[in-house]
Each structure stands twice: as C-alpha cells, then as structure tokens.
Amino acid sequence: MPEGPEIWRTADALNDALQGKTISELYFAFEELKQHEPELKGMEIQKIEARGKAILTFFEDDRVMYSHNQLYGKWMVRANGAKPNTNRKLRVAIHNTDQSAYLYSATDIEMLSQEEVPAHSYIKKLGPDVLHPDTTYEDVIAQYRSDSFQNRKLTTLLLDQGFVSGIGNYLRSEIMFYAKVDPHKKLREYSDEEKEALAKATVKLTKRSYETGGITNDPSIVEALKREKAKRSEYRHFVYNRTDDRCHKCGQIIEEEKTGGRKIYFCPNCQQVD
C-alpha cells in the first residue's frame, strides 16, 4: 500500500493535470456514482488533497470525491485522452481538454459534501499528517507525549493512522532506525529524549521521502553509493528490506523480525538492541 509521501505526490500530479480546469468528460464505474457524471461535466476541479492514505477531489460546487487506494488502487495521468495500457479495472476517469486522470482498482470511492468530509469515518480518526501544510512539529511530538498512546507497542503504534497518519511499513522501520531506538518497547518505556528523536525522525524522513520520491537514506550516503553504481534498492533506505546487508552507518548486519504479521528491519548496533 502506498504511504503518505506517495499519496501526496499522487495528489500533486493530479493537481497539475486537473486543478482549475473544466471537466469535459467524466466516468464512474459504480452505479451509485453514475448520477454525478452529467451533473459534474462542465465544472472545474478546485483542488486535490491527500488525507492520510486517501485522496479528496474538490469540485467547484459543494461536492468532494473521497477515494482510498487501499492495497491495489492506483491513479494514472495521461495527456490528450490517451488511456494507460493496463489490465486493472477502471473505477473513475476525469478528462479535460489536455489531460486525463484514471483511477484503477480502488473500491472505496464516495461522493461527499464539503461539510461531511471532517466527519467521514476514515478522516475523522486520522492523526496529524506530517505533510499537511498546517501540521507542525509540536503536533507530532504531542502525539508521542500523549497519555493515550503510552501503553502501545511502538511497532504497532507507528502503523496506527490515528497516531500519525501516512506512516506505513517502510517509514516505520526507517523512523525507528533514524531515532536510534530499540524497536521492541512500548512507548512509555522510551525516555523523553528518545521520544523527541522519534518525533524529529517522523517529520524529517516523511518529508525527505516526499521530496525525493521515496528515498529515506541520507543524501551523502545516496550520492556515494550512486557513484559506485549501486542500484536504487541498495541506496534507497537505511534498513527497510535490507535483511543481511550491512548497515550504511556502522557496517553491522541488518536484521528482520515479523511483528503483527508484518516485518520490521533494524540495525542491532545502531539501535542498541539487546
């Protein structure tokens, strides 16, 4: 499933293609949305925003299309009405005179009013989104200090969209590594300094991933590895999906564990794992 940085980059691409432009054609696959096709044709799209792992498309009237990619959904943008070569099931198509945006395979699509957006069952439960322009570092560190989360295991908590939205499996392992914390503890077991390190890592690596197209590793390490002709998979992350490779920081072997049915990756030396 795409994580927050990927969803925000998708929203950027959709804004480039659709924002401020008049809809020339519109298609919805689901019968309950069909009524909106003729009503929205000829309107402009005001903006597209990411919310956690969902995308909101705001039309010039009061309507907002909520869509969640879930595991298999994917937006694709093409110029001049060209259609992607894919076997995926088309769910939504939005056309203007220059660009077309297609949503494939997603099953969670709804039409809301702007007033209904904050009360939506998914959106109302979201924690602060690091990439939202209104979110501050203080919002993030407040989550790490909140009594509501202290008895939660960190590895589970970081995947809870009600804690900090947009974090998924790769950011989880990368954040714990960058903060230099043992991943096996409950939040209350970390010191104030470690919680601050986690909050800073959450902000820094989420923004870095958004800005670089998914790279969380330090830029200096990335550039050095690129000069050595390393593959993207070798320089993209500190620890995620690098089992049995050497840590970029200390040379120790990266380890993996399964927790809650999903893997975490860590450096036992940098993260002081017993």
5 is catalytic: no
Beta-strand pair 255-259/262-266: antiparallel
How far apart CA 180 and CA 137 sit, in angstroms, is 19
Catalytic: which of 152, 200, 262, 263? Answer: 262
3 is catalytic: yes
In the chain, the amino acid numbered 84 is P
How far apart CA 264 and CA 255 sit, in angstroms, is 8
Q: What is the CA radius of gyration of the chain?
A: 20
Structure tokens at 3: 């994580």
- Edge to edge, the sheet with strand 45-51 lists 45-51, 54-59, 63-68, 108-113
How far apart CA 173 and CA 203 sit, in angstroms, is 14
Catalytic: which of 5, 6, 51, 53? Answer: 53
128 is catalytic: no
Neighbours of 80 (CB within 10 A): 9
262 is catalytic: yes
Q: Which residues carry out catalysis?
A: 2-3, 53, 262
